[in-house]
Amino acid sequence: MQLDETDKKLLLFLQQDCKQTTKELSYKLGLSITAVYERVRKLENNGVISKYVAILDKTKIDKNFVILCHVKLTQHKKEYVLRFEKEVMTLDEVTECFHVSGDYDYILKICVKDMEDYRNFMLTKLTTIQHIASTQSSFTISEVKNTTELVL
């Protein structure tokens, strides 16, 4: 995918606020409305822009208790790995899950209301998945940075 400087700037703007009109963007980029329109459409069609979403404020919807949970499996048989991943994907509280190298197999980011909610999540959802050897939870004291923006 060949992106020129204008495309990169455009993508930065859209990652900050995708509700800007083509008119506003054309002004910021020094191009005509049509030119910007065509570029956006190209970036959508070739999949560089995958979607447009609303970002909610976790503190206002009772999801402000964030935990990073490190999981080890008992074995790394393909069957166990696929089973674990499939089940994790269905858990709404898990917003991110990475299969990683190193001391653990997976690192999960979990968003819940409070400690009670987390305890409940662990007991009734996460640890009911088969073949988990151990979990280690790191509770978030503060969120220093959390952005969806990738700088090009």
Site residues, its own copies (CB under 8 A): 1, 3, 11, 14-19, 46-58, 60-61, 63, 66, 68, 85, 88-89, 92-104, 106-107, 111, 136-152
Residue 86 and residue 95 in contact, taking contact as beta carbons nearer than 8 Å: no
Nearest CA among 136, 140, 127, 32 for reference residue 87:
127
Residue 124 or 151: the one with the smaller Cβ distance to its own copies is 151
- Give the integer Cα–Cα distance in Å for 71 and 105: 6
- Give the integer Cα–Cα distance in Å for 46 and 49: 8
**CA–CA distances in Å: residue 11 to residues 20, 53, 143:** 12, 14, 25
Closest distance to its own copies from the beta carbon of 149 (Å): 7
* Binding partner selected for residue 45 from its own copies, DNA, none, CB under the kind-specific 5 to 8 Å limit: none
How many CA atoms are closer than 13 Å to the CA of 10, on its beta-carbon side? Answer: 27
When asked if residue 43 is in the footprint of DNA (CB under 7 A), the reply is no
Binding residue for DNA, selected from 37, 87, 107, 135, defined by CB under 7 A? 37
Residue 35 or 140: the one with the smaller Cβ distance to its own copies is 140
Q: Which residues are near DNA by CB under 7 A? A: 6, 21-24, 30-35, 37-39, 41
